Amino acid sequence: MLTFILRRVAAGIVVLCAISFITYVLLYFSSANIARNILGEFASQDQVAAKEVALGLDQPLMTRFFAWAGHAITGDFGTSWFTAEPVVHALENRLPVTLTLVVVAIVLIAICATLLGMAAAVKRGWIDRVVQTAAVVGDAIPGFVIAIVLVTLFAIQLKLFPATSSIVPGAGADVWIASLALPVIALLINGVTGGAQQIRSAVIKQLEKDYVRTLRSRGISEREILFKHVLRSAAPAGLTVLSLQFIGMLGGVVILEQIFALPGMGALAVQSTTMGDIPLVMGVVLYTVVIVIIVNLLVDLINGWLNPKVRVS
């Protein structure tokens, strides 16, 4: 078990290194005019050259990367080139908003999708048709379009929610709830339909298994078969979908945060990439990848716990 975790963590670190290198190389090509952009149009050529030296832009690619990586290992991601705010600090202010949004949404999706998917698989009939149709509709409309519709309808027309968030560091729970309600609902609508569809087919597949019939023949109640045996075997399929949705959402919130004017990582990502703020971009990418790696590890661990065959190997 421990070796399994260690192996996965090691693999995660390798992935992390690979991605940071690739990202760094990509960004290298974007940094040509960065000093000029920072100083503005009226700075002299000498000032620009001095700034380039100060930022290390005169160094070759590999030197720059290893200099950055050397600091990153110690947890120092440098400071933003444009705002001079430490990257770690900027991220720590933004991360809670994004994580709260995504985690709350994924938990709600997991619960709703499981209930809906199981109901559709077991009861069939109208609820099954609703879930199936909803899955098609949910696939058809991009999340951010749903978000736009929600804002227009509930915030601007009906004024039930604030159209833009007022989350600031230290804001109370009421502000958070009011600000995150609509974005969470937007993510929920988009995620539940697909998730329910996957759970539905996984449960149906399990219900057709021989062992379910044998459990029935042994006098085990339908409820126990469903919740103890079938759900457990169907869970890995659902978890895989959820983890993919989670990763998708980490990207999707970029647009969502723009629509709802949320001060999260997404907004930071857009700002930093449009300006070419390399330290900040690297910070955003690394944080995101670390979150993804942790989620994937968690999913693997839960799958191992659910399935004894995986556990042994």
Task: Supply the DSSP symbol for 155.
Answer: I
What is the phi-psi region of residue 161: left when phi exceeds 0, alpha when psi lies from -120 to 50, beta otherwise? beta
| Minimum CB distance to other proteins smaller for 89 or for 232 | 232
The reply on whether position 224 binds other proteins by CB under 8 A is yes
Q: Pick from 61, 213, 227, 298 the residue near other proteins by CB under 8 A.
A: 213
Least distance in Å: CB of 7 to other proteins?
Answer: 13
Show the binding pattern over residues 95-134: x = contacts other proteins (CB under 8 A), - = does not. Answer: ---------------------------x------------
DSSP label at residue 79: B
Asked whether the beta carbons of 239 and 195 are under 8 A apart, the reply is no
Q: Report the residue from 4, 21, 82, 144 that binds other proteins according to the rule CB under 8 A.
A: 144
Binding map of other proteins across residues 160-189, x = CB under 8 A, - = no contact = ------------------------------
Tell me the per-residue interface mask from 246 to 265 with other proteins, x by CB under 8 A, - otherwise.
-xx-xxx-xx--xx------
Q: Which stretch binds other proteins (CB under 8 A): 37-45, 63-71, 177-185, 305-313?
A: 305-313
Angle, helices 231-260 vs 278-306, to 10°: value is 160
Considering only residues 268 to 287 of the shown chain, the ones binding other proteins according to CB under 8 A are: 269-270, 273-274, 276, 281, 284-285
Consecutive H or E run containing 100: helix 87-123
Sequence letter at residue 236: P
Q: How far is the CB of 216 from other proteins (least distance, A)?
A: 4
Place of tokens 């990848």: 289
Q: Applying CB under 8 A, which of residues 18, 67, 115, 298 lies at the interface with other proteins?
A: 18
SS3 (DSSP) at 251: helix
CA distance 157 to 138: 23
Q: What is the DSSP letter of 22?
A: H
Tell me phi and psi for residue 53, to 5 degrees.
-65, -45
Q: Are 187 and 249 in contact (CB under 8 A)?
A: yes
The radius of gyration of the chain's CA atoms, rounded to the nearest angstrom, is 24
Q: How many residues bind other proteins (CB under 8 A)?
A: 74
For the bound state, the minimum distance from the C-beta of residue 23 to other proteins, rounded and expressed in Å, comes to: 6
DSSP conformational letter for 43: S
Is residue 9 at the binding interface for other proteins, with CB under 8 A as the rule? Answer: no
Among 9, 10, 136, 298, binds other proteins (CB under 8 A): 136
Q: x/- contact string, 45-74, with other proteins (CB under 8 A)?
A: ------------------------------
